[in-house]
Amino acid sequence: MKSHSRLFAIPALLICAAACAQETPTPPAPAGVPSEADESPQDGQIDPAQLAALFPKVDMNAQSFDAAAKTPEAIAKGTACLDAVAAAYRAAPAMTDTIEWSVKIPGGEQKDSMSIELGAGQDMLIKAGASQLISVGGKVYYVDEGSADKYIEVPLDGSVSNTLKTKLEGLEFPCPHPALRGTTTSKVLEAFSFGGSAFETVAGFQTKDGVDQILLTGAQSDLMISVNPTTKLVSTMSLVMSPPGAPEGIRFMVNFKMDPKVMDKLATPIAFDAGSRKAVASPAELAPTEPEAIAVGAEAPGFSLQDLNGKTVTLADLKGKIVVIDFWATWCGPCRKGLPAINDLAKWVEETKQPVQVLGINVWERGDDAAKKSADYWTKQGFIFPALLDLEGNVVKQYGFNGIPATVVIGTDGKVINVHQGFDPKGDLTGDLKAEILKAIGTKG
């Protein structure tokens, strides 16, 4: 995401839980950031029954445990097995693990992954997307690509798990490793409480297909942990949860697949290199300063970008013309609503032969086929003005925007004439841009 409203890479189940808990659709912000909510209806509330019908039907894990697997004897075996799991993770000299998780949501399946390295003692490296948590040398570091010039550094407070609670509140990874590495027997259940779930008891135990299965239950969720009976390491987890605030009957099942490997020592010791980043002591300080949109009268930052046909377009080559730039993306609902007004402007420019170049700049496009997605959309809409590709968002960042749509009018001298942010359905963007252009060239409309 290009909006840093939340610092940390939170697991897929939390994203889904947050989406589910909203009984009213979220309208796009005036200056949108990447959001699937752009497709949501804009009026009224969603009926809970209708919302529940959108989600896959999910049974609790407890339903796969028969009465014999829930007896006091079985529960005692489950508790002993869970204690053995914690002991195995504490005793491992070193370990690597890869966790892949998936959750079914309306319209598809959301997947993600992370990697974990456990060294001696509390040395640890967790990589989840653009985020990294590193514990080494008695300190814990957190790095996120959203803050390119800063990182968090705090002293280790006994264990990584405890440090997350006391000094990095809100930072959470969907894995039990930090807690298992430093937990006591009485705290084992807490190691598996993440993503809004909390477990109060061991509720069952069974051996199925050569794998030990432990059932944990809580108020709104349950978790089935599959354990290798020889190594006592976790191979899979299945989390079923009802997010707080969700209509009755809505549950998510999040499946975790793990690949733990124990070794005498890591191939590469865990280390931290700050590079040019500056240390800060709290999550609040890590948040980047929100950029300010480029000011009227400022020199427009230059750029050189390719259009959809591979032709390079450079702002410097357009000096002497008025240039209108519209930043957009296919996922941005307000952008899609505003682009026809920009196209109408381009038609007017062409018909009246004004000394103006209109450009669309596609930014922050999602997916491996982002360029193709942009080109397909542009062709389907039949827009007559060129679209340039700024998929990494370098140019839009130079112009100081953290949300789109945004339209900039640049004068013949290369300085900004005006800036329009967001989409106003009651406004007349085409008319406003025409007036600004005519005023700049000294012509009355």
Which sequence spans correspond to the domains of the chain?
61-244+252-286, 304-441
CA distance 154 to 142: 9
| Pick from 11, 226, 18, 196: nearest CA to 101 | 11
pLDDT in the model for residue 147? 77
Burial 318-351 (b: 16+ CB within 10 A, else e): beeebbbbbbbbbbbbbbbebbebbbbbbebbee
CA distance 348 to 369: 32
pLDDT in the model for residue 5? 33
Q: Which CATH class is domain 61-244+252-286?
A: mainly beta
Tokens of residue 205, six digits: 């135990």
Contact assessment for residue 426 and residue 338, using Cβ atoms and an 8 Å cutoff: no
Tokens of residue 58, six digits: 């999910």
pLDDT in the model for residue 184? 63
Burial 7-18 (b: 16+ CB within 10 A, else e): bbbbbbbbbbbe
**Cα 102 → chain centroid:** 14
pLDDT in the model for residue 129? 80
pLDDT in the model for residue 170? 77
Backbone torsion region of residue 121, taken as left when φ is above 0, otherwise alpha when ψ lies between -120 and 50, otherwise beta: left
CA distance 21 to 48: 10
Q: Report, at the CATH architecture level, how domain 304-441 is classified.
A: 3-Layer(aba) Sandwich (3.40)
**With 0-12 CB in 10 A as exposed, 13-18 as middle and 19+ as buried, what is 425?**
exposed
Could you list the pLDDT tens digit for every one of the 445 residues in the chain? 333 333 334 443 444 444 443 332 222 333 333 343 344 333 344 566 666 666 678 889 999 999 999 999 999 999 999 999 999 999 999 999 999 998 876 666 788 899 999 999 999 999 988 789 999 999 999 998 777 789 999 999 999 999 998 998 878 888 999 999 986 656 889 899 876 678 989 999 999 999 999 999 988 789 999 999 999 999 999 999 876 666 677 788 899 999 999 999 999 999 999 999 999 998 888 876 666 899 999 999 999 999 999 999 999 999 999 999 999 999 888 999 999 999 999 999 999 999 999 999 999 987 778 899 999 999 999 999 999 999 888 999 999 998 899 999 999 999 999 999 999 988 999 999 999 999 999 865 4
